Chains A and B, each alone.
Chain A
Amino acid sequence: MGGDSKYLGLWYVTPYILGFALFTAFPFVTSFYLSFTDYDLLSTPEWVGLENYEKLFTRDRTFSKSLSVTLTYVALTVPLKLAFALFIAVVLNYRLRGIGLFRTAYYVPSILGGSVAIAVLWRYIFAQEGLVNMIITGLGGEPVNWFGDPGNALFTITLLRCWQFGSAMVIFLAALQSVDKTLYEAASIDGAGPWQIFRNITLPLITPVIFFNLIMQTVQAFQEFNGPYIITQGGPLKSTYLLPLYIYDEAFKSFDMGYASAIAWVLFVIIMALTLVAFWSSKKWVYYAGDKRS
């Protein structure tokens, strides 16, 4: 817009620059620094070099347990949730009456997201005397010790997050609906079966959205806190003690800010590394329409 100073736009984005500097950039750098210190809030941070990291990877049993629980949780939750979301989106992507109703029904649990209320609900549904066991015994089965058994507890939290597949599904559905219908017709006239069509036409065309969902869900799963904190408090036997819980305990219960920062940085590096791998590998499997890659 003609006569305006070239800095005019900068004024409008000033709030963001301020916010980014104060609440993102500064904390980001500080936490990296803190991870090399011993800081208990009472005295000033004391530089300890790599000691925190050394302790984490060599002596801290809780950390190795927590790390393996976290990786298991992510490896279990993300693929299950995405596969289910995609499956339902494919079923929904059809001219059916009342589709809006189903879409809403599926979406409601995920809009309530990480809310405490939903975690509380889960805790009671899967309790020893809860709804799920009542149904299992009603059908003649043995009640399952969902949260008391270290082998089951993590999976129950995975189930909670899979139950909230709605937002991933809505994104898949939007992508499916934008696939050119004539491609399906052409393939079906050429005699391709439904599976072949899905495998060779639908799936490649929606890879950008699969990629997007994969990254978002992974970043989110690594930061899961409310579910295990409210439902199991990390137990039993630390079987649901995800890294964010460990960070919280170290930082805000033991006030060991340096050590907690080091754990946070390990978690951050894992997330970033996986994201980068995803971006790097995306060149091989993500298809962008109209992309003339040479």
Chain B
Amino acid sequence: MVTLSDLPDQSRAERTPPTPLELKLRRRNRINAFVRYSLLILVGFIMIYPLLWLVGAAFKTNSEIFSSAWFWPARPTLDGFREGWETSTPYNFGHFFLNSMYIVIPKVIGTAISCTLVAYGFARFEFPGKKILFSILIATLLLPDVVTRIPQYLLFRELGWLDTYLPLFVPSWVAGDAFFVFMVIQFLRAIPREMEEAARVDGANTAQTLIFIVVPILMPAIISVCLFQFMWTMNDFLGPLIYISSVEKYPVSIALKLSIDATEAFNWNAILSMTVLALIPSLVVFFLAQKSFIEGISTGGVKG
């Protein structure tokens, strides 16, 4: 067994040739790195191949999809896209993408504004009932949506909002996603208050301080809130499934599900090419803002 005192100290180790122990450690490191790389590459391949196959298959003919497991199309064709884009409905996929935007844009903007306001309130002020409200906020992080879904539906039905986009984005205007509020609070807590205090001394009120001092510093957090919300909303399926009943108003997620049901069993490339299109917005957003995603997820912790 080797103990601390047996090891040569740093300064001497630099001058003398490597000891047998160091050689052994280096060899072990090389083997270690090799094993790790092999494993990571294998797993990475399994992770990514389905997506590669999907993209390739979108450009294949149907007969090629069924005959080859290799992702690269032998004779690339746009037939799948042409056919899939037209859909079985009177509307093309562009129409459904536009519908998704009618939900996503108001929802993202509403989330960003309301979460910033609420997070500012929680992180920078003392007020009666703050403790209770904050506990409620944390509790709702864990509250399963399944238990509130039915009465929410009944509420929106009472308001005459069924088959409109309102139920899908109005809750986000009143900080409906506790998770995002929590995330912004976490960011705010890490920011020193000196600048804000200086602004207050110079006579700015809290609203001015929020807009001109806090928001600019908070921008990275707000942007990651927007990106997460964008992707979750684009991908949301159950919400529109419950609230949107006319085909004309379907967002992409529902239209895609409809296209599986409506397309003949073996016309895969039409569906797979629309699947690729449906994933593109999320992928673009992810690659544009990868860093803030991974940071956001490791600081706030996230569902997903």
Indicate if A286 sits at the interface (CB-CB under 8 A). no
Contacts of B146 in A (CB 8 A): 223, 244, 247, 264, 267-268
Does residue B78 face the partner (Cβ distance < 8 Å to A)? no
- The contact of B268 among A12, A116, A124, A275, by CB within 8 Å, is A124
Chain A residue contacts of B216, Cβ below 8 A: none
Contact of B282 among A112, A163, A189 (CB under 8 A): A112
Does B76 sit at the interface, judged by CB under 8 A? no
Cβ–Cβ contact B144 & A114, under 8 A: no
The answer to the question of B122 belonging to the interface, with a C-beta cut-off of 8 Å to chain A, is yes
The yes or no answer to A280 lying at the interface (CB within 8 A) is no
A25-33, A59-67, A196-204: which lies at the interface: A25-33
| B54–A24 touching, CB < 8 Å | no
Interface contact B121-A9, CB-CB below 8 Å: yes
Q: How far is the CA of A28 from the CA of B286 in the complex (A)?
A: 34
A284 to B21, CA, bound (A): 40
Give Cα distance in the complex from A28 to B4, angstroms: 60
Per-position 1/0 for B114-141, Cβ under 8 A of A:
1001101110111111100100110010
Chain A window 86-126, contacts with chain B (Cβ cutoff 8 Å), 1 for yes, 0 for no: 00100110101000001111111111111111101111110
* Contact indicator A30/B253 (Cβ below 8 Å): no
CB contacts between A and B, total, < 8 Å: 271
Contact A17 B150 (CB under 8 A): no
- Asked whether, in the complex, the Cβ of A134 is within 8 Å of the Cβ of B69, the reply is yes
Interface residues of B in 16-75 (CB under 8 A from A): 32-33, 36-37, 39-40, 43-44, 47-48, 50-51, 53-54, 57, 66, 68-69
Bound complex: CA A243 to CA B156 (Å): 24
Of A8, A190, A216, A261, the residue contacting B3 (CB under 8 A) is A190
Q: How far is the CA of A260 from the CA of B148 in the complex (A)?
A: 11
- Residues of B contacting A190 with CB < 8 Å? 1, 3
CA distance A102 to B66 in the complex (A): 30
Is B103 interfacial (CB 8 A cutoff)? no
Q: Is the CB of A174 within 8 A of B298?
A: yes
B160 CB within 8 Å of chain A: no
* 0/1 string, A208-231, CB within 8 A of B gives 1: 000010011001101101100110
B126→A6 contact, CB < 8 A: yes
Task: Report, as a range, how many residues of chain B touch the other chain.
Answer: 35 or more
A265 to B146, CA, bound (A): 9
Shortest C-beta distance, A246 to chain B (Å), equals 11
Nearest-CB residue, chain A, relative to B294? A170
Cα-based distance from A118 to B257 in the complex (angstroms): 11
Residues of A within 8 A of B69 (CB): 131, 134-135, 138
Q: Across the A-B interface, give the 4 residue pairs with the lowest CB-CB distance, nearest first.
A: A9-B125, A12-B121, A19-B174, A115-B235
Residues of chain B at the chain A interface (Cβ within 8 Å): 1-4, 7, 32-33, 36-37, 39-40, 43-44, 47-48, 50-51, 53-54, 57, 66, 68-69, 114, 117-118, 120-122, 124-130, 133, 136-137, 140, 142-155, 157, 171, 173-176, 181, 197, 200, 206, 231-232, 234-235, 237-238, 242, 253-254, 256-257, 260, 268, 271-272, 275-276, 278-279, 282-283, 286, 290, 293-294, 297-298, 301-304
Beyond known contacts A15-B173, A173-B298: 6 more, CB 8 A cutoff: A19-B175, A26-B155, A88-B43, A120-B260, A190-B3, A260-B150
Interface, chain A (partner B; CB < 8 A): 1-2, 4, 6-13, 15-20, 22-24, 26-28, 30-31, 34, 41, 88, 91-92, 94, 96, 102-118, 120-125, 129, 131, 134-135, 138, 163-164, 167, 170-171, 173-174, 189-191, 212, 215-216, 219-220, 222-223, 225-226, 229-230, 244, 247-248, 251-252, 257, 260-261, 264-265, 267-268, 271, 275
